[in-house]
A = this chain, B = another copy of it.
Amino acid sequence: MALLVQKYGGTSVADAARIRHVAERIVACREAGNQVAVVVSAMGDTTDELIALAHSIAANPDPRELDLLLSTGELVSCTLVAMALRELGADAVSMNAAQAGIRTDTAHGRASIVALDPKRVRRELDRGRIVIIAGFQGTTADEDVTTLGRGGSDTTAVALAAALGAERCEVYTDVSGIYTADPHVVPEARQLFEIGYEEMLELASYGAKMHPRAIELAAWYHVPVLVAGAAGDRPGTLIHDLEDPSGGEMASMGEMEARNRVSGVTYERGVARITVRAVPDRPGIVAAVFEPLSEANVSVDTIVQSASAERLTDVSFTVAKTDAGAALEISRRVAGEIGAADCVSDTDLGAVSIVGTGMQNAPGYASRMFRALADASINIEMITTSQIRITCIVAEAHLDDAVRVLHAAFELDKA
């Protein structure tokens, strides 16, 4: 008998009919011989509606009060799912965060789980019951209710799976799994059967969404996570520890297998680039550029500093297009202060990336990427690489083409 933790998102429990459907799925899983603990999000847009309600009262609602308010969304959905299960004759019991033993710090609105004692959950499971837990929330040592912030319910589910030593955490959402690329851009995009945690962090924007924080927690505790669609019976994508075929003693076998290490292609529209030109190249100068941006809450993505020539360097970075105006204004001011030549911006860019575990240890992926873009006459504006990702900044007008070209070049349409 396996112990499974299932998580259903807000769309899956948005109305009575969908709640009944979710209950049927849970019962099927129970009747297949599993112990089942279920984490649910608030119904549909409930959380946003509660936030709007709070803002109709207070411009800046007190975070502690807001948390108790928002926590009601998941209490409603978890009790309704439990009722639906009982209607089907299943023995189900709902639990709030206190009952489920989810203890957090006191950072209201973005609390972190500091301990999870699932003894009551386990006791109910061992009595043969299905346990439905309100996601997204916890309680402090002082019994105050907290919320975990965005991605909170996914985090609840993974944390619970880790604490219970569950065989698997199943995250059900409104699409059926993780894709090699955005199907809207690449019609040939294919659903992946499995993916590593790190790759999932990069690909989570397409297909079944899952919050990076929950993925990181799953990676840390080695919790296998199945992301799948709540509606159909498609298999979903399993996120788990993938062995790197090029790693350690397996290296030669990895080469023999000639496994395609690229899992997918991701992209991001609306990228702007700011370049501070002819910056005097001395210690502390980069901090001088980026600290004011950080203070202004401008989130900087890619940063490239060109090689220094005559003790002058160019510093380029990308920001979301919506932040470009603020970033340019701040950078111009800083450029004057630090004696840089000037600032220029380009607001019509996009980012395209190939993602895959072990790419960096296997040569040829980067050059193959650059060649494919070149063959399609797509100019590369900036390049950055990480352990599992190679990203090119290109003109936004060529972004969709770039995604399709790379999807084909790495044969992602083939299983």
Interface residues of A (CB under 8 A from B): 16, 19-20, 50, 53-54, 56-59, 61-62, 64-66, 68-69, 71-72, 75-76, 78-80, 82-84, 86-87, 93-94, 96, 98-99, 143-145
Q: For A86, what are the chain B residues with a Cβ–Cβ distance below 8 Å? A: 58, 62, 65
Contact B71 A57, beta carbon cutoff 8 Å: no
Q: Take A57-B20, A87-B57 as given contacts and tell me if A93 and B64 are in contact as well, using a CB distance cutoff of 8 Å.
A: yes
A72: which B residues are within 8 A, CB to CB? 72, 75-76
Chain A interface secondary structure, helix, strand, loop or mixed?
helix
Contacts A75-B71, A94-B65 known; A83 to B54 CB distance under 8 Å?
A: yes
Q: How near does chain B come to A25, taking the closest CB pair, in angstroms?
A: 15
Report the nearest B residue to A72, measured CB to CB.
B72
B57 touching A19, Cβ below 8 Å: yes
A83 to B64, CA, bound (A): 10
CA–CA, A86 and B83, complex, Å: 37
Known A86-B62, A99-B143, A145-B96; judge A75-B68 contact (CB<8 A). Answer: yes
Smallest CB gap from A145: residue in B = B96
With both beta carbons as reference points, the residue of chain B lying nearest to A93 in the complex is identified as B64
Which A-B residue pairs are the 6 nearest by beta carbons?
A72-B72, A69-B79, A58-B83, A16-B56, A65-B79, A58-B87
Question: Are B143 and A16 touching (Cβ within 8 A)?
Answer: no
Q: Which residue of B lies closest to A71 (CB)?
A: B75
| Other A-B pairs beyond A54-B80, A65-B80, 14, CB < 8 Å | A16-B53, A16-B57, A20-B57, A54-B79, A54-B83, A57-B83, A57-B84, A65-B79, A65-B82, A65-B93, A69-B75, A69-B80, A69-B83, A71-B75
Q: Which residues on B sit within 8 Å (CB–CB) of A87?
A: 57-59
